Amino acid sequence: DFTFHTIPESPTGAWTTPTYIRMELNLFAGQLYFNSKEEYDRVCELFALHMAHPGAKHIEVDGFVRRPYRTGAKSPFSVSVIATFKELTGFRRKGMGYNRTHLGMLVP
């Protein structure tokens, strides 16, 4: 809930955080588990992984699907960011394993 402490004060109407912002903040903060299958699917779409593009003809070794071969949702990335994200997550985990978590299954 991002309405806990806001500066300046939030308007009186209820404001909800857009799903994509919450998802990206959780990934950057090091969240290892997803709350739902929909959240898992959104992360796959964001990273352009083959799970989000079931009919893709060409898949990179890390699961990334290049733009010309994507079959569904859009991703802002034209090259794979899996290695960079994996390295960032490793730094945040300070060497502790996360392979058996939801996120660990996505970034082998």
Mean pLDDT by 10 residues, the chain (108 residues): 64 75 86 89 89 87 88 84 85 80 81
Task: Report the predicted TM-score, pTM, of the whole model to 2 decimal places.
Answer: 0.76
Percent of the chain whose pLDDT exceeds 70? 86
Query: So what's the pLDDT on residue 28?
Result: 86
What pLDDT digit, counting tens, does each position of 9-35 carry? 666 667 778 888 888 888 888 888 888
Residues 6+ apart with CB under 8 A from 71: 53, 54, 55, 56
CA distance 108 to 102: 11
